[in-house]
Amino acid sequence: MNDYFIKKFFTLDKFILISIITLLEHLFGGVIMRGFIPNELMNAIYDKIYLDLEVHILNSKLHKAEDKGMKDNAEYLNKLILDVIAQRREVSHYLHKNGVKIQEPIEDTDGEFITYKYSVSINGGYNEGQIRFWRCAIRNNLQERMNKYFKKGVYSEREYLHDLQ
């Protein structure tokens, strides 16, 4: 009888662990393979990855606005870029202070996934890990993150994109 409860306990524990991993994958859009790394550092790694992508998107929108001759939009985008770069600098400083290095992204052969490898120096050694993102999940998360810049700004992103066309 005790063996039955022990088996039930361990299967429940595995189920909970798998559920937590699945929840993290859905929340962050990536498959996480890591050693022991504090959650604060993992959140900073995600922020760094997404802030780099946000800067790239805002720069491309700035160039399109300058080509179309929209000076007001270009000024607003320039301020946004400076704010995002300041956030990225803070996150990069925090990661550097804690010994985290993020490598350049690696695209899979099918082009559907992107892998970011990172290493963290802990107790004189290195813990390495990787995060594998699905492109559609990155795009969805970036749209949500970019909406915060355009809802409170001069006008919404939909109006902005309409003006660029």
Question: What is the per-residue pLDDT across 71-81, written as a single tens digit (0 to 9) for each?
Answer: 888 888 899 99
Task: Specify the pTM.
Answer: 0.70
> What's residue 143's pLDDT?
86
CA distance 93 to 33: 24
CB 35 within 8 Å of CB 71: no
Contact 117, 104 (CB under 8 A): no
**Over the stretch 39-55, which tens digit does the pLDDT of each residue have?**
888 899 999 999 999 99
Map out the domains of the chain as residue ranges: 31-164
